[in-house]
Structures are given as C-alpha cells and as structure tokens.
Amino acid sequence: MKVLISDSLSPRGIEILKGASLEVDVRTGMKPEELKTCIGEYHGLVIRSATKVTSDIIGAAANLRVIGRAGSGLDNVDKAAATKKGIVVMNTPGGNTITTAEHTIALMFALARQIPQATASMKAFKWEKKRFMGVELYLKTIGIVGIGNIGKQVATRVLALGMNVIGYDPYLSDENAKEMGIEKVDLPDLFRRSDFITFHTPITTETRNLVNRQTIQEMKDGVRIINCARGGIVNETDLYEALKSGKVAGAAIDVFEKEPPVDNPLLSLDNVICTPHLGAATEEAQENVAVAIAEQVVDYLVNGVIRNAVNFPSVPADQILKLKPYLTLAERLGSFASQVFEGAVTEITIEYRGEAAALNTAPVNIALLKGFLATILEETVNFVNAPIIAKERGIAVKEMKSPDGGDYQSMLVLRVKVDGKENTVGGTLLGKTDPRIVRINDFPVEIVPEGNMLFMYNNDRPGVIGNIGSYLGKNRINIARMHFGRESAGGMAISVVSIDAPVSQTQLEDIRKIPNILSVRVVNL
C-alpha cells in the first residue's frame, strides 16, 4: 500500500511508515490540481495544515482509506465528503496542549514587560528604560475563557505565579473548578474583574466576536488580552480602536481571522505583540504529532485498527454498516442537545428503545458523547477521547435499554441533567437510515438534524410563524424547513427553522425582539 506525505513531517514519522513496509512518497508544496491528479494511487494521506483536502480531491481519491493530520485542527479537511466516501479521518489530539499553554504564558510575560518592544528599541541602539515600564503578574487576576485541556494547563501555570484565577466555561461544574483552584464566574463578571484575559475556546456562533466594542467596554481600563485559540474570537477592528484609545493596554495575538494578516492595522500598533500562529510550533510537539499520526496510519492500514478518528469509532469492520446510521443519529442528538441545553452538565443518560436495544451500544454511546462535547470544547473531541473528557468534567454517563420502542420501531432518547434539571431529546431513523429528532422535552416534533437552524421557545399565538418567516425573507435568508411543536393550544411552543445561511449576531438580536418569541438559539449540525 502507498502513503503520500504532502506536508513537512518529522523524519521519525516517515521512518515509522516505511518500517511497516508501506511505500511512502514525500511530495510537499503541491498545488491542488497536482494533488488531485496523483491522489488516486494512494491508500493513505498524511498532512499538516498546508494541504487542503477538498471534496474535489476526495472525489478523485479512488483508493484512499485514511487521511492522517499531524496535529489537532481539521479545518483543511472536508470531513463530510471523506465520511461519505468511507475514508477515515484521524488527528493527534493533545499533541499541542502543553506547547500552546506554554506559548500563552510566554506571550503573557512578554506583554506584561513589553519585551519585544524593548528588544526592538535596543537593536535600534536606544536605551529607553522609562519607556518600557512593565507590570507584575503576582496577585493580578487572570480570566481564562474556556477550561479545556489547554485552559487547564494555563491555569496550573498561572496559579504557580501567584495570580488569582477566574474562569468561564458554561460546561464546567463548580466542583471541578474548585478542584483546579479556579473561581468559576460568568462572562460579564470575568470581563469586569480581569487584569489579563486569555481565550481557549473553539470558534462557534456563540464565540465569534466574543470580544467586541460592547464587551470591551465592560472590561477594566488597562486590561491586557491574549488570544492563542482561534482567529475571529476577537473582533480585530474593535480591538484596534480599544488599543488606540488606551482602554486595552496591550494585546498578544497568535491567531488572526485572516492568515497571514495582510494589511491588518493591529500590526501597526506598538502595544500589540504577535506571532505567526506558533501555538503548536515547537520541535517536541511537531515530533510528537508526527510519530503519533504515523503509528495511527500504520495501525489502520496494516492492522485494521482505528485510533483517534474523528469520523469513525473503533468498531469491527463487519459491524460498521449496521451501526453507522445509529452512530450518525447519536452524534447529531448529542450535538443538538449541547447547543440547546446550555449549563453545567452533571449527568447524561442514553436510553435505547425497540430494535436499538439489541445494538452493540458502546460505540453509539461514544458517538453521542463526541457530538455533545465537540461543539462546546476547544480541544479536538473524537471517538477515543470523548469518554475520558466526559469523566474529567465530572459528567456521569449512564445507559438504559428497553425492548419497547413505543410509537417507533427503534429510538434513542438522550437525557441531560443540566444545573439539576433534566432535559430530553429523542430520535429515530426514517427508513432505517435517515436520522430524525422526534421529541424535545414534552414537545413532539419531526426535525431533520442537519445544517443551520434557529431553535426558539415561543408562545403559541397567531402570527409568530409569519413574523419569523417575514423577517428572514426581508433579510434574504432562505428557509429550508420549519418544524413546530406545542404542549397545548395557546401554551408554550417550540419552533425550529432550518436556514440556508447562518444569521449574524445583529439578526439574532432582532429575532429575539419578535413578539411572543421567548428565546432563540443558533444550532449548527
């Protein structure tokens, strides 16, 4: 079998692949058309961040069985196209956790003491001691937004520096926060109290532009901001204005919304220090991920063992076809629930009814946990680490089975205990292959769980549906489907609107103001 390495990889990784009697070609810097032309002859593809594995390339990959990413981010791989074609997509979660945490700490020190600016001054043969007055970190308050793997490592290090650590993570329990020495707070409180703020969250609808003109005004005068997570979490235009006015004393940025950041005005400011996306760029991290992905690719191509896949669980090949529809249903139920039922989750119960009770439920449980956790955490969640992450976060996972499917031949019911209250979402398979959500708490529904959706609680009153449709139409947002459910006539109702394009934050606020709309959330599946 043949493996193509299309991005730079540590020699140790290449040796591991060749040592398993795989034929290895290293061809870096290829243009998309070149890759598309040659990919058909390979069974494995090993990449980093430079290669873009698009649906076109996957379509030309006649023999490809596995795509291995040496690193965690998979924004450059069309995972849906790979999954549809049965190609396993693997990454190396955790390989850059320590490295990114250390880079965050390095930027924080450099920001506090203006080290890059002072270095530039010295190299210009100047001696400007008074210009570069710094601040101590000791006893300062640092706010950590996102307490995942990296956030935890940052917390451990800043606690050792004598800093006061407060953290925001809606899915972190009070008990776990206390064990880590972190005071759990809400986001406005974190903004008000922090001297330094560092972000360690994924980029989602909820976190995009999390730092903006309004939230900056809630912060302390002279706050310092660090972002080693994702470009887009910080609104760069609003940050620029705040840095110019002095509201924000300084910023340290490793990630940008557009990379490389050509003509970005932030780069012109003296109180900004920045690096070219170096969070994972250490020799140790790069060798670790190269070795890890090479071993994973060998395990799969040579031994048939799947590890750290983001689109397939570790199940025997003869069970994949039967389980795959349930894996898809479970993952989407989990993802839907995590986006709708926000709060500190303490318990998840997965109930199998009817034919589903006879399944090999272990991989289905993992698929559901993966779907639930992947949308709320910064770190990569896959079929291997999902149970571990749930345990680390103090989430008890339980399973129930019943041969009685009720109105359905087969059904999965997810019960999520959030802030002490139980919420449920139930799903089934239409024609044994197509997932449907058929119940949300006490509301019967029939929802196709895919794409962009608006999930709303509303009063069951005339005109609500028309007002929603009218607003979306005026804003040229096409409605793909609309689903409704109500407890009783004139009572509480839910509306789920599938749309062809995401809504902006401003549009979301406008929808909240529509009469009889009680709440609205964006869901993306």
Helix (H, G, I), strand (E, B) or coil at 457: strand
Residue 383: both structure tokens together: 């079929």
Torsion of CA 322, 328, 331, 337, to 10 degrees: -120
Catalytic residue among 69, 208, 224, 230: 230
Dig out the tokens for 447 from the structure: 């929802």
Which among 524, 492, 343, 333 is positioned nearest to 422, based on CA atoms? 343
CA angle, 171 as apex, 107 and 207 as ends, to 5°?
A: 55
- Catalytic residue, chosen from 65, 113, 277, 481, is 277
Lay out the sheet containing 183-184: strands in order across: 183-184, 164-168, 141-145, 196-199, 223-227, 248-253, 272-274
C-alpha 439/C-alpha 72 separation (Å) is 34
- Say how far apart CA 131 and CA 222 lie, in whole Å: 17
* Longest distance between any two alpha carbons in the chain, whole Å: 81
Using the structure block, give the residue that is written with the tokens 């979660």: 93
Q: Catalytic annotation on 200?
A: no
Q: At what angle are helices 283-303 and 11-19 packed, to 10 degrees?
A: 20
Measure the CA–CA gap between 411 and 84, rounded to whole angstroms: 23
In DSSP terms, 498 is beta-bridged to: 453, 481
- DSSP structure class, residue 220: P
The H-or-E segment that residue 371 falls in is helix 361-374
The answer to whether residues 149 and 155 touch, using CB atoms and an 8 Å cutoff, is no
Tell me if residue 460 falls in helix, strand or coil.
Answer: coil
Using a 10 angstrom Cβ sphere, with 0-12 exposed, 13-18 middle and 19 or more buried, the burial of residue 303 is exposed
Sign for the CA dihedral angle at 171, 173, 174, 178 comes to negative
CA distance 51 to 49: 6
Kindly give, in sequence order, each residue whose CB lies less than 8 Å from that of residue 369, ignoring residues fewer than 6 positions away: 334, 348, 386, 387, 389, 390, 397
Is 277 noted as a catalytic residue in this protein?
Answer: yes
Report DSSP letters for 250-309, one per residue.
Answer: EEEES--SSSS-TT-GGGG-TTEEE-SS-TT--HHHHHHHHHHHHHHHHHHHHH----SB
Question: Hey, what are 202's tokens?
Answer: 């994924």
Catalytic residues: 230, 259, 277
